[in-house]
């Protein structure tokens, strides 16, 4: 049985739906325009397909959705019926990629989470928000500032740690991140932290270095426990659209990832990217970012997301 550790957290606060709905308004308005009149003919189908492709749901998925409509009888002139049909279809496509990430029992303690991704995608912010969620559900987190390359990165995470009241492990500037991670895991065992959240560097121009460094961090964690890191999470910026695909491909191949966290959905007009990414890479969406505050990280809900795309 799954313990609903974060149940309270998830029901509280303003809705995920209202946050992303305003961001996705452009997409949903365009969909509304493309199906205006509700008369299913070639013009409507072509217009809708184009709108879906422009919203980044991916060409194949757009084709599939549109042929689903083409092959169905709708009572004429009913836009709402088409919208409802699309919402159900998109929700069904996304449903397998929901996750119980925040409620999951930790099989090994400390549970080790590794956050990776390109600079600016929201790793540090997401690490802090995750720590905040775990703390609220009664599990002591330890944040690890393994982006030792830039002093500012450590300061940023330290600032968050103070703000949300959780422990943090920092190293000297330019210290070996893998060494810091090892020391942090030992500290977590000593001080009874149940979850260790490792924030890493994401400098793009040293990509090979960076990927090698992530590999080293993973090996060091595995020395302590062969199943660690228990979850390697790629943090993506929901506003980047197509570029995100390249990032997922690279990290999957070179580092190995278990799931995605998609940030900035509160500002992403091209919300279809989540649809395309899940269909292509079959990775769960562990969390979504809907703002810059500590409470602005949410579980991903397929139905709510589909509803927001359709307005
Ligand atoms: N609106 C919004 N901004 C976010 C979100 N997540 C992160 N940010 C902002 O994106 C910027 C980069 O985030 P940061 O965590 O430093 O990225 P990192 O370089 O990957 O560690 C910061 O200004 C964050 O406040 C989100 O979900 N919504
Ligand atoms: Mg950072």
Provide the 3-class DSSP secondary structure of residue 288: strand
- 59 plus 188 within the same structural domain: no
| Token code pair at residue 308 | 């927001």
Query: What pLDDT was estimated at residue 204?
Result: 65
Residues 226 and 148 in one domain: yes
Average pLDDT, the chain: 89
My answer on whether 63 and 153 are in the same domain is: no
pLDDT surpasses 90 at 18:
no
Q: Per-residue pLDDT for 164 more than 70? A: yes
Number of domains comprising the chain: 2
> Which pLDDT score is estimated for 1?
33
User: Does residue 127 fall inside a structural domain?
Assistant: yes
Average pLDDT rounded to a whole number, residues 123-136 = 97
User: For 13, what's the count of Cα atoms within 13 Å in the CB-facing half-sphere?
Assistant: 19
76-83, long-range: CB < 8 A, 24+ apart: 76/38, 76/39, 77/37, 77/38, 77/39, 78/38, 79/32, 79/35, 79/36, 79/37, 79/38, 81/38, 82/35, 82/38, 82/40, 83/31, 83/32, 83/35, 83/310, 83/311
Residue 243 corresponds to which tokens in the numbers above? 């570029």
Which ligand lies nearest the alpha carbon of 203? Answer: 1
- Name the pLDDT band for 17 (thresholds 50, 70, 90): confident
- Predicted confidence at residue 14, as pLDDT, reads 59
Domain boundary among 37, 71, 97: 97
Maximum mean pLDDT: which of 26-30, 90-94, 151-155, 239-243: 90-94
Is residue 5 predicted with pLDDT exceeding 70?
Answer: no
| 89: containing domain | 16-97
Percent share of the chain, pLDDT over 90: 63
Residue 244 main-chain phi, psi, to 5 deg = -60, -35
Q: Which of 116, 117, 121, 125 to mutate to test the pocket of ligand 1 (most atoms within 8 A of CB)?
A: 125
| 120 Cα nearest atom in ligand 1 | 19
One domain, residues 120 and 66:
no
Q: Which of 122, 143, 233, 247 to mutate to test the pocket of ligand 1 (most atoms within 8 A of CB)?
A: 122
Residues 169 and 232 in one domain: yes
Residues 38 and 181 in one domain: no
Quote the ligand 1 centre to 126 CA distance (angstroms).
8
Least confident of 75-79, 139-143, 264-268: 75-79
Nearest to 130 by CA among 185, 224, 188, 198: 198
Which protein residue has the closest C-alpha to ligand 1 atom 17?
122
State the pLDDT confidence band at 11, using cuts at 50, 70 and 90.
very low
- Whether 102 is covered by a domain: the verdict is no
**In terms of domains, do 81 and 119 share one?**
no
Q: Which residues are within 8 A (CB) of 222 and not within 5 positions of it... i.e. 6 or more apart?
A: 228, 229
- Of residues 173 and 194, more confidence is placed in 194
For residue 43, is it within any domain?
yes
Residue 206: predicted pLDDT:
59
* 170 and 81 housed in the same domain: no
Among 75, 97, 119, which residue terminates a domain?
97
CATH number of residue 61's parent domain: 1.20.120.140
Of 50 and 5, the structure prediction assigns the larger pLDDT to: 50
Read off the pLDDT band of 71 (50, 70, 90). confident
Q: Are residues 85 and 217 in the same domain?
A: no
Cα of 121 vs centre of ligand 1, distance in Å, is: 6
Residue that has been written with the tokens 């929700």 in this structure: 91
Query: Which atom of ligand 1 is the closest one to the Cα of 289?
Result: 27
Residue 239 pLDDT: 86
Average pLDDT over residues 108-132: 96
Cα 153 to averaged position of ligand 2 atoms, centre (Å): 5
> Does 157 fall in a domain?
yes
Say if CB 134 and CB 141 are below 8 A apart.
yes
Is 184 found in the same domain as 56? Answer: no
Tell whether 307 is covered by a domain.
no
Protein residue with its CA nearest to atom 19 in ligand 1: 120
Closest C-alpha among 123, 139, 136 to residue 287? 123
| Whole-prediction pTM | 0.92
The answer to whether position 137 is within a domain reads yes
Ligand 2 centroid from CA 85, angstroms: 40
Boundary-marking domain end, from 55, 72, 97: 97
| CATH code of the domain containing 209 | 3.40.50.300
Q: Are residues 151 and 272 in the same domain?
A: yes
Ligand 2 centroid distance, CA of 200 (Å): 7
Cα separation of the two ends of the chain: 35
Q: Whose CA is nearest to atom 6 of ligand 1?
A: 122
pLDDT at residue 8 in the model = 33
Q: Indicate whether 156 belongs to any domain.
A: yes
Query: Do 129 and 268 sit in the same domain of this protein?
Result: yes
Instruction: State pLDDT tens for residues 180-216.
Output: 999 999 999 999 999 999 999 987 655 788 888 999 9
Identify whether 80 is part of a domain: yes
- Which residues does a 6 A CB cutoff place in the pocket of ligand 1? 117, 119-125, 202, 235, 263-264, 266-267, 289-292, 296
- Cα(91) to centroid(ligand 2), Å: 32
Q: How far, in Å, from the CA of 203 to the mean position of ligand 1?
A: 15
% of the chain beyond a pLDDT of 70: 92
pLDDT at residue 9, rounded to an integer: 38
Nearest to 133 by CA among 285, 258, 10: 10
């Amino acid at each position: 049985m799954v313990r609903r550790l974060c149940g309270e957290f998830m029901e509280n606060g303003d809705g995920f739906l209202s946050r992303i709905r305003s961001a996705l308004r452009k997409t949903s308005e365009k969909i509304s325009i493309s199906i205006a009149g509700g008369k299913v003919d070639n013009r409507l189908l072509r217009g809708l397909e184009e709108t879906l492709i422009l919203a980044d749901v991916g060409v194949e998925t757009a084709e599939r959705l549109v042929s689903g409509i083409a092959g169905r009888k709708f009572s004429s002139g009913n836009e709402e019926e088409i919208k409802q049909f699309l919402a159900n279809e998109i929700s069904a496509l996304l449903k397998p990629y929901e996750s119980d990430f925040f409620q999951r029992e930790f099989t090994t303690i400390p549970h080790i989470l590794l956050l990776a991704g390109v600079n600016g995608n929201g790793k540090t912010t997401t690490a802090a928000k995750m720590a905040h969620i775990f703390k609220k559900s009664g599990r002591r987190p330890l944040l690890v500032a393994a982006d030792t390359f830039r002093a500012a990165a450590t300061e940023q995470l330290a600032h968050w740690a103070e703000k949300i009241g959780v422990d943090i492990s920092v190293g000297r500037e330019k210290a070996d991140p893998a060494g810091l991670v090892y020391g942090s895991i030992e500290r977590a065992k000593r001080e009874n932290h149940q979850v260790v959240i490792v924030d890493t560097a994401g400098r793009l121009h040293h990509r090979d270095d960076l990927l090698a460094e992530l590999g080293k961090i993973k090996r060091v964690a595995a020395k302590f426990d062969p199943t660690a890191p228990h979850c390697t999470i790629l943090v993506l910026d929901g506003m980047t659209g197509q570029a995100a695909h390249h990032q997922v491909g690279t990290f999957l191949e070179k580092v190995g990832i278990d799931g995605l966290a998609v940030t900035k959905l509160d500002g992403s007009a091209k919300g279809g990217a989540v649809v395309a990414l899940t269909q292509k890479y079959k990775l769960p969406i562990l969390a979504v970012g809907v703002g810059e505050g500590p409470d602005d990280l949410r579980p991903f809900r397929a139905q709510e997301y589909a509803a927001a795309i359709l307005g």
